[in-house]
């Protein structure tokens, strides 16, 4: 009788131990998922005429310039972060322009690094295409961004709208048929937009 009682108690203790292990494993999986995804992109924009912004005008004592405000291509990324702080957050931007007149594509690549990014929602990062490039090579038809933390790509997002009859591969920015050009994409600090709504954007390294 005592043997049966001890056996039952042992089975109950073992059952509680299994449940505790399973709960611990489930909690561990939740932490791993959070750690594996410190950044989530909410929205990426910049396609077509909606991605064009005029050069901001500042009031100064100097007489007004001779040229009207020109149109820049703006690629805007809105994102959330989970860690309390991220020392550095690198955004690798890819932008595809299409000229209807020349019927040619121009593939641009550039990156920007943000510093001291706090946990939160609705962070903003942006890159710009110079007005002359937009006038010469056409509007932006596709954009993509890869977010890198400590050398590891943690999330990717893309958006595209090619002219009718043309197809865009899922990972178009990785195709060897497109040769990227550097120097065309400018971060916010390299443009007249640097001091516009300054606190809305993350600090650029």
Class of domain 39-57+70-200: mainly beta
Q: Phi/psi of residue 31, each to 5°?
A: -65, -40
pLDDT in tens, 29-58: 222 222 348 999 999 999 998 889 998 878
CA dihedral 135, 136, 140, 145 (to 10 degrees): -120
Task: Count CA atoms within 13 Å of residue 204 on its CB side.
Answer: 19
pLDDT value at position 112?
Answer: 97
Residue 122 backbone zone (phi > 0: left; psi -120 to 50: alpha; other: beta) = left
- Of 76, 60, 88, nearest in space to 187 by CA: 76
pLDDT value at position 28?
Answer: 31
pLDDT value at position 39?
Answer: 95
Instruction: With a cut of 70, list the residues of the chain below it in pLDDT.
Output: 1-36, 63-65
pLDDT value at position 131?
Answer: 95
């Amino acid at each position: 009788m005592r043997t049966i009682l001890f056996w039952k108690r042992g089975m109950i203790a073992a059952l509680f131990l299994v449940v505790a292990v399973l709960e611990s494993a489930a909690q561990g999986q939740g932490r791993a998922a959070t750690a594996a995804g410190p950044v989530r992109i909410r929205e990426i924009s910049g396609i077509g005429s909606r991605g064009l912004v005029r050069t901001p005008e500042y009031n100064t004592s100097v007489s007004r310039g001779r040229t009207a405000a020109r149109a820049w291509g703006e690629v805007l990324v809105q994102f959330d972060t989970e860690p309390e702080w991220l020392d550095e957050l690198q955004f690798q931007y890819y932008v595809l322009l299409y000229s209807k007149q020349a019927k040619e594509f121009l593939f641009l690549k550039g990156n920007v690094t943000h510093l001291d990014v706090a946990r939160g929602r609705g962070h903003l990062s942006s890159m710009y295409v110079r007005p002359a490039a937009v006038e010469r090579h056409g509007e932006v038809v596709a954009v993509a961004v890869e977010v890198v933390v400590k050398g590891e790509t943690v999330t990717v997002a893309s958006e595209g709208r090619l002219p009718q009859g043309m197809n865009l591969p899922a990972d178009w920015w990785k195709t060897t048929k497109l040769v990227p050009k550097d120097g065309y994409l400018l971060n916010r600090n390299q443009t007249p937009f640097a001091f516009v709504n300054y606190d809305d954007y993350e600090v650029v390294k």
